[in-house]
């Protein structure tokens, strides 16, 4: 069933003794806004977790395959589209030229039908074998911590070495040293948007939307690692508009969700140190759906 409503949503999640999103340009330190000290998690990181969850739950089968995944060769995915629409002959010829010709739109539609993340988040598929470009109906902002975070650096020891050469250098002591970075605690908020107009262009429907809500609610439960510590979805508040254009500005709706420290708490170390105030006063034409929290 096609989407006929606009949606805006607030996602709250937290991290305890982990690194929610390391910055490779800063030695994998947790991302931080240098001016405010508040932690950041990129939209790319959040989308990665949604993709992983959908791939896990749906078994990487059409129409829920994942286009952007580990070790994927994107042009090979594009090639499948032309085979799927019965026009593989268009891929023959000079390898230096983009291929597809007049069938690009058909290939784009095939990619939308088969790959969940293409019809949800969009994709640029115009390199090499050309499947066009898709602007996705789902958009996410960076997540920003409610309060400033502290980054801790830890020395860690591995009681083994990788090679015989390393063992000889250690003179019988096979311990090697390393470092890891953690945030003791941080509560993060991200905002999201769903456009029914763009959903119609990609084929993103009500079933896909329900899968998105499920992924946002449960994605951290299936993404555990020592590096990420404890991460959990603490709130998912969805504003459903009566129509496609919407009945209120997104920023005014987001202001209805206000997480803040409880009185007397100076250094947060647990979600219980916060109170999330939800203003449920009626906004004409907008319904608040509390998926989590």
> pLDDT, tens digit, for every residue of 16-35?
999 999 999 999 999 999 99
Q: Quick check: is 167 in a domain?
A: no
For the chain, what is the domain count? 2
Asked whether residue 173 is assigned to any structural domain, the reply reads no
Q: Do 258 and 200 share a domain, yes or no?
A: yes
Task: Give the whole-number percent of the chain exceeding pLDDT 70.
Answer: 95
Residues 221 and 202: their CA atoms lie apart, in Å, by: 29
Distance of CA 223 to the CA centre of its chain: 12
Q: What is the pLDDT of residues 224-237, one digit of tens each?
A: 999 999 999 999 99
User: Would you state the structure tokens that stand for residue 217, as one six-digit string?
Assistant: 């609610």
Q: Are residues 6 and 149 in the same domain?
A: yes
> Is 185 in the same domain as 291?
yes
Residue 235 lies in a domain: yes
Cis peptide before 288 (omega within 30 of 0): no
Would you tell me how many other CB atoms lie within 10 Å of the CB of residue 276? 18
Same domain, yes or no, for 19 and 55? no
- pLDDT value at position 108? 96
The answer to whether position 171 is within a domain reads no
Is residue 190 assigned to a domain?
yes
169: in domain: no
> Same domain, yes or no, for 248 and 271?
yes
pTM of the model: 0.92
Q: Which of 135, 168, 201 is the last residue of a domain?
A: 135
Q: Which domain holds residue 81?
A: 43-135
27 and 55 belong to one structural domain: no
Q: Is 30 in the same domain as 81?
A: no
């Amino acid at each position: 069933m096609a989407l006929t409503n606009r949606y805006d949503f607030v996602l709250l999640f937290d991290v305890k003794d982990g690194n929610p999103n390391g910055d490779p340009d800063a030695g994998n330190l947790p991302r931080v806004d240098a001016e405010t000290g508040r932690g950041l998690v990129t939209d790319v990181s959040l989308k990665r977790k949604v993709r992983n969850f959908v791939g896990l739950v749906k078994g990487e089968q059409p129409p829920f395959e994942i286009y952007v995944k580990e070790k994927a060769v994107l042009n090979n995915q594009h090639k499948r589209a032309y085979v799927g629409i019965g026009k593989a002959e268009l891929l023959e010829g000079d390898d230096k030229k983009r291929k597809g010709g007049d069938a690009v739109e058909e290939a784009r539609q095939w990619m939308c039908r088969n790959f969940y993340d293409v019809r949800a988040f969009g994709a640029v598929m115009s390199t090499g074998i050309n499947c066009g470009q898709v602007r996705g109906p789902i958009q996410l902002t960076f997540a920003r911590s409610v309060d400033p975070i502290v980054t801790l650096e830890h020395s860690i020891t591995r009681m083994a070495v990788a090679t015989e050469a390393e063992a000889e250098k250690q003179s019988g002591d096979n311990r090697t040293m390393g470092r890891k970075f953690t945030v003791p605690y941080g509560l993060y908020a991200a905002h999201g948007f769903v456009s029914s107009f763009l959903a119609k262009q990609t084929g993103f429907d009500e079933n896909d939307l329900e899968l998105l809500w499920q992924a946002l609610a449960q994605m951290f439960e299936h993404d555990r690692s020592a590096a990420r510590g404890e991460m959990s979805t603490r709130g998912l508040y969805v504003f459903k508009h009566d129509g496609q254009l919407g009945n209120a500005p997104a920023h005014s709706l987001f202001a209805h969700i206000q997480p803040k420290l409880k009185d007397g708490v100076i250094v947060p170390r647990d979600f219980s140190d916060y109170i999330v105030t939800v203003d449920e006063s009626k906004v004409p034409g907008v319904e608040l759906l509390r998926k989590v929290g």
